[in-house]
Amino acid sequence: MILAIDIGNTNTVLGLFENSTLVESWRLNTASARTIDESWVAVKLLAEDANRDLKSVKGIVIGSVVPKETFVYKKMCEYYLNQTPFEVNGNLDLGIKLDVKSPNEVGADRISNVYAAGKLYGKPSIVVDFGTATTYDIIDDKGNFIGGSISPGIETSAMHLFESAALLHRIDFEIPKSAIGRDTRSNLESGILFGAADQLDGMIKRILNEKGWSDIPVVITGGLGKVIGRIIQTNVIIDDDLTLKGLFHLYTDLN
């Protein structure tokens, strides 16, 4: 089995691949205060609960945007699994080109997303990842990453709003019945969710117009991707595990 570890600013997602199939995945809060031993206990308990023996892992790949957590998980793998993880970054010879001004600044999550999208869904294509930030990543007909855009994530923006407005309180996100809210909760749901959906539709239209493309794969992943995918006008592919799949394929293709 191959263990893929996607370390994001909010969550750390771990996936176990058997052959090329993702057989287990677990999500942990990215807690910088967690020690190497505590991280191992958390991962070990999750694996045991799923009746998976981590000692059968033959390779490990890490993609991270949180350097402190990268260190913790690398040391955890070295100490408890006796393996040095393969780390995805923009300095590797990926087989695709990071055709941007500073390739070394491209996050491992974005590299993994575009690699998986090109391999699994076609080229050119667009990836939208709903995480701490919402990222739009574009690959050309050769599979090269040619740039994109970054905006505040849905939950990130909402939390800032709740923290800044004394009379507004955190809500669980549910799709409203109408764009015109009749109370504070439905006002928030409409503004946050329909606003995010319309942003996606508008950005995709703008990107397609700039490139002169039409009818190309648009893959969405992460966070509230499934929710937004139900209320957008753009035809999309929803793949919650895109980043993990990208890490796995980068590991197997480059090793």
Q: Hey, do 2-87 and 103-247 end up sharing a CATH topology, with the first three levels equal?
A: yes
Lowest mean pLDDT among 21-25, 224-228, 239-243: 224-228
Q: How many Cβ atoms are within 10 Å of 174's Cβ, its own excluded?
A: 11
pLDDT bracket for residue 245 (50, 70, 90)? very high
Element (H, E) at 220: strand 218-221
Domain edges within the chain: 2-87, 103-247
Q: Quote the tokens at residue 19.
A: 């052959």
Once rounded to an integer, what is the mean pLDDT over residues 158-183? 76
pLDDT bracket for residue 189 (50, 70, 90)? confident
What end-to-end distance do the CA atoms of the chain give, in Å? 15
pLDDT tops 80 at residue 175: yes
pLDDT tops 70 at residue 168: no
Q: Quote the tokens at residue 54.
A: 């981590």
pLDDT bracket for residue 173 (50, 70, 90)? confident
**193 or 206, higher pLDDT:** 206
Is residue 247 within 8 A of residue 88, CB to CB? The reply is: yes
Instruction: Work out whether strand 11-18 and strand 2-7 pair parallel, antiparallel, or are unpaired.
Output: antiparallel
Q: What was the pLDDT predicted at 114?
A: 96
Torsion of the alpha carbons at 115, 119, 120 and 121, rounded to the nearest 10: 90
Q: What was the pLDDT predicted at 171?
A: 65
Q: Quote the tokens at residue 122.
A: 């076609």
Residues ≥6 apart with Cβ < 8 Å to 212: none
Q: 103-247, superfamily in CATH?
A: ATPase, nucleotide binding domain (3.30.420.40)
Is residue 124 within 8 A of residue 96, CB to CB? The reply is: no
Q: What was the pLDDT predicted at 161?
A: 77
Q: What angle do CA 69, 72, 75 make, to 5 degrees?
A: 145
Task: Tell me the catalytic residues.
Answer: 109
Alpha-carbon span 129 to 254, nearest angstrom: 24
Once rounded to an integer, what is the mean pLDDT over residues 9-25? 94
pLDDT tops 60 at residue 137: yes
Is residue 158 within 8 A of residue 139, CB to CB? The reply is: no
Alpha-carbon span 229 to 209, nearest angstrom: 21
CATH number at 2-87? 3.30.420.40
pLDDT tops 60 at residue 165: yes
Alpha-carbon span 169 to 188, nearest angstrom: 10
Q: What was the pLDDT predicted at 6?
A: 97
What burial class does residue 248 get, using C-beta atoms within 10 Å of its C-beta: 0-12 exposed, 13-18 middle, 19+ buried? buried
Q: What was the pLDDT predicted at 174?
A: 82
Instruction: Work out whether strand 2-7 and strand 59-64 pair parallel, antiparallel, or are unpaired.
Output: parallel
Q: What was the pLDDT predicted at 166?
A: 56
Torsion sign over Cα 7, 157, 232, 122: negative
* Cα-only R_g, the chain: 19
Q: What was the pLDDT predicted at 176?
A: 84
Q: What are phi and psi of 231, to 5 degrees?
A: -125, 5
Once rounded to an integer, what is the mean pLDDT over residues 208-214? 95
**217 or 193, higher pLDDT:** 217
Is residue 247 within 8 A of residue 25, CB to CB? The reply is: no
Q: What was the pLDDT predicted at 223?
A: 79
Model confidence pLDDT, tens digit, residues 84-128:
999 999 988 998 999 999 999 999 999 999 999 999 999 999 999
